[in-house]
């Protein structure tokens, strides 16, 4: 069984930060709508549409949700009018996303037809992990491990099939409601309960002890991605002096309309006794 995780916010933020970049030369401001649509296989259709606003002569950003549109998503069964859920969100709770299916988005905004098309990738195949549990030492402020007591575990190997040379990404998320820190020291500046790698054409990834900040059960989610999401991620890493516009696959708009499939494994990080 696959789930739609709250890390969708992490995916959506990728485009938001790209769209807000300061550029040396700014193109003409066209008030284009900003689309955030990640079609997860096994979930219903949900799309976020916001207005693009000018912050200054050098920057632009996303504004409030647009709630006055007639938004359609088409698949092989026909054209589906989405329901306005408020705050720029349009959804159809009866339209479930299918693996390997093509979907098209279209609506009219300021007398222009806004559109996009995507193919939902197949579910990841043969997703495996080398171990299901590991033990690591607790490190507290002012303490030092006794000689020979601190040992690093071998990297955890994650593997999957990738015969068609697709893009994949791993997101690791701690599932505990109140997780315990592994390194409970003042030097732990950034405390995060989830992390990910960059999208890549690969069939493997390795996890190491130092990547984990908390004990407990972790969810390992493998994302099968389209090239458009990988391009969006890469575009977000450009410097603030870049002259390029944010990557988009939307006609007469900006943002992303893309399909995603996932598979999930679990890993337990235990406290070494």
Q: What is the pLDDT of residues 150-197, one digit of tens each?
A: 578 999 999 999 999 999 999 999 999 999 999 887 655 567 899 999
What residues contact residue 210 under an 8 Å CB cut-off, 6+ apart?
none
Q: Which two tokens stand for residue 130?
A: 């080398």
Domain boundaries, the chain: 8-122+245-259, 128-222+265-271
Q: Residues 257, 37: contact at Cβ < 8 Å? A: yes
Could you say which residues of the chain have pLDDT below 50?
Answer: 1-3, 5, 7, 13-28, 56-60, 238-244
Q: What is the pLDDT of residue 110?
A: 93
Q: Give the Å distances, CA to CA, from 104 to 74, 118, 248.
A: 5, 6, 15
CATH T-level assignment (fold) for domain 8-122+245-259: Immunoglobulin-like (2.60.40)
Q: What is the pLDDT of residue 20?
A: 41
What would the pLDDT profile of 238-249 be if each residue is shown by its tens digit?
Answer: 433 333 456 789
pTM listed for this prediction: 0.83
- Alpha carbons 102 and 4: distance in angstroms, whole number: 19
Q: What is the pLDDT of residue 25?
A: 41
Q: What is the pLDDT of residue 191?
A: 78
| Torsional sign, CA 216, 5, 124, 213 | negative
Start-to-end CA span in the chain (Å): 34
Q: What is the pLDDT of residue 63?
A: 73
């Amino acid at each position: 069984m696959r789930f739609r995780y709250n890390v969708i916010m992490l995916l959506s933020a990728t485009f938001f930060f790209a769209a807000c970049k300061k550029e040396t030369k700014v193109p003409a401001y066209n008030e284009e709508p900003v689309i955030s649509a990640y079609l997860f296989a096994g979930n219903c259709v949900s799309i976020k549409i916001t207005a693009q606003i000018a912050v200054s002569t050098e920057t632009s950003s996303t504004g409030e949700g647009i709630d006055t549109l007639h938004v359609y998503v088409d698949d092989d069964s026909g054209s589906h009018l989405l329901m306005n859920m408020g705050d720029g969100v349009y959804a159809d709770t009866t339209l479930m996303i299918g693996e390997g299916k093509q979907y098209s988005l279209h609506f009219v905004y300021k007398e222009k037809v806004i559109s996009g098309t995507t193919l939902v990738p197949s579910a990841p195949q043969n997703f495996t992990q080398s171990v299901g549990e590991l033990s690591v030492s607790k490190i507290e402020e002012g303490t030092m491990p006794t000689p020979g007591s601190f040992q690093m575990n071998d990297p955890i190997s994650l593997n999957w099939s990738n015969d068609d040379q697709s893009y994949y990404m791993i997101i690791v998320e701690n599932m505990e409601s109140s997780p315990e820190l592994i390194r409970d020291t003042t030097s732990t500046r950034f405390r995060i309960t989830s992390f990910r790698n960059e999208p890549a054409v690969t069939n493997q990834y390795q996890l190491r002890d130092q990547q984990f900040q908390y004990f407990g059960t972790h969810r390992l989610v493998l994302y099968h991605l389209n090239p458009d999401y990988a391009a969006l991620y890469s575009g977000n890493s450009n410097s603030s002096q870049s002259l390029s516009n944010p990557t988009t696959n939307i006609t007469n708009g900006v943002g992303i309309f893309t399909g995603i499939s996932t598979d999930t494994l679990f890993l337990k990080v235990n406290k070494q006794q």
